[in-house]
Amino acid sequence: MRKKLRISDLLGVSVIVLLFALVGCQSLLNKIIPCDVPSEVINYTSTEPNEVWPTLDSAYKLKRKAIARHRARQLYYDRAAQDDKFAYQDAVDIVDLQIKESEQFKQQLIEGTPASYGIGLSAVLSSIGGLYIGRNFLKRPGDKSPEEVEKEKLEAKIQS
């Protein structure tokens, strides 16, 4: 025999099924459970305040959005730091190269190079030769030779 369904039985079963659905379905519960969403999170995620409902679901969405934004910013800062490191290293390397070239030039000026040794030696020898020739063979008018100077010294001793 078949029993007739009463409305109260149908209503009771519906309520039980609805309760199981509400308790078992987290997404539905998250949409109806209230949750205060701080304005700092809304500002950090650049979300319009009128787009946010004060529910648990909105809080979870904003949390995921904040995490994604933080990771994107950290990646940007890491890349900027890496770019700065490369630019810094390039600048230091270029300056080091210029300093090295200038130090080599300074060293060449002070010590000379093997090619400039011959030039320096010829300059010294020609100066010595010129001094010898000028001292012994070229006389200005009125200059006295060493013999004449010795004669005058002897005459001066004799007279005194």
pLDDT of residue 157: 85
- Tell me the one-letter amino acid at 78: D
Q: Which of 75, 69, 21 has the alpha carbon at shortest distance from 61?
A: 69
Specify the pLDDT at position 93. Answer: 95
CB 69 within 8 A of CB 47: no
Given this model, what pLDDT does residue 101 score? 93
Rounded to an integer, what distance in angstroms lies between the CA atom of residue 57 and that of residue 31? 5
Per-residue confidence (pLDDT) for residue 33, from 0 to 100: 81
Angle, alpha carbons 57-63-65 (nearest 5°): 105
Question: Whose CA is closest to 47, among 36, 35, 55, 39?
Answer: 39
Q: How far apart are the first and last CA of the chain?
A: 176
- Quote the pLDDT of residue 83: 96
Mean pLDDT by 10 residues, the chain (160 residues): 71 81 72 84 86 85 94 96 96 95 84 68 81 76 81 85
Amino acid at 85: K
CA distance 39 to 49: 8
Instruction: Give me the pLDDT at residue 67, please.
Output: 95
Q: What pLDDT was estimated at residue 52?
A: 79
Q: Considering the entire predicted model, what is its pTM?
A: 0.49
CA-CA distance, 47 to 40, in Å (whole number)? 10
